[in-house]
Structure 1
């Protein structure tokens, strides 16, 4: 009985995360499940090196958000095969002997939330952004046999810049995924600089952002008849997968 009531602490690692979906989601979940010995908090770091100041004996697991999904890997004892292939971690399980194991559940959340929207003509995708979140997106697109091109403000080999997105590119790439933070509350008027005038009802726009529900990116797509999906379902699915991992 004493072991059952031992405090289980979880938390979100990120930067400027007062808006945190995770804290709200898991606090509500713990209440609904009557897990009175569970609690969830934010670890809001201006620098990832602050992670080493945490007393890991008091924590059972973490979620990780931007901008630390790649930088956190250096602090882990082990990462699973999928997270290693993706190159980003958004979930950490802490074992009984205080080992840190990294996982990626973003890919699962994205995969399961975009699959119902994919149609036969969705053969190519533009992925806007190059951060840790985008890496999970690329992993899923590859699994779904959807050819992709990454769009960056500072493109490297194999990527393109925003000003290279022509009418022809927009015609060929009918899936567009925003993995940048552009448009997140409170900067709701911002959006990636793509030529929205070339969107059609053949396009599918997926935004990883969940606050607001409809970003400017999605609203501009909707006006052109495109199918639009925000990041809320992806977040819920990745959170549930993290919960599963923490309780293995």
Structure 2
């Protein structure tokens, strides 16, 4: 499948600032199932530093704007050829070991409710393969959180989202990471794009999902918000804790 992306992110400041320096992870890396045909990131008036690939395998570029600056508009345009790998990430060059992703953050720290969600989801799965356990966690998270835009915000934690029982893809992802951590599985946050169906029209925002490190397979994506693993409708851009 060939997917085209046109995406603009705007930052507006209440008062002009003297300058802006940003490090962007906005360029998708090539891997099995993802071939970059064209990709451009543009900021009017910006100077760009040399790009590099970080330890997670993501491409980084630093942008500098000299002030006064009241607004920054980051425009992305690109085309990617994708194939379905059943969510398995192959051919992605990275140096950070999977165990580094056992670390939690303030937004992905499991609480008692998340621990109970994991206990219930994995009941009877003590000897099950990691992949089966990961699918069980994803199903439990999908059932626990109704997709409801506007119910949460950028700083909502996994514990808060689960308590609320509603949220968007970032909330499903935070809870999935927290649940995986509770279950002893490395997990990380992934950002990218999801192609909307023809009925839904253009997708209006970037997307998020989780990757869990599964024995024998490596990193596998789980999109609990859509109850599936990433397929040819997804473009993977970057990852983090």
- State the TM-score bracket (shorter-chain normalisation): under 0.3
TM superposition score normalised by structure 2: 0.27
Structure 1 or 2: more strand by fraction: 2
Structure 1 or 2: more helix by fraction: 1
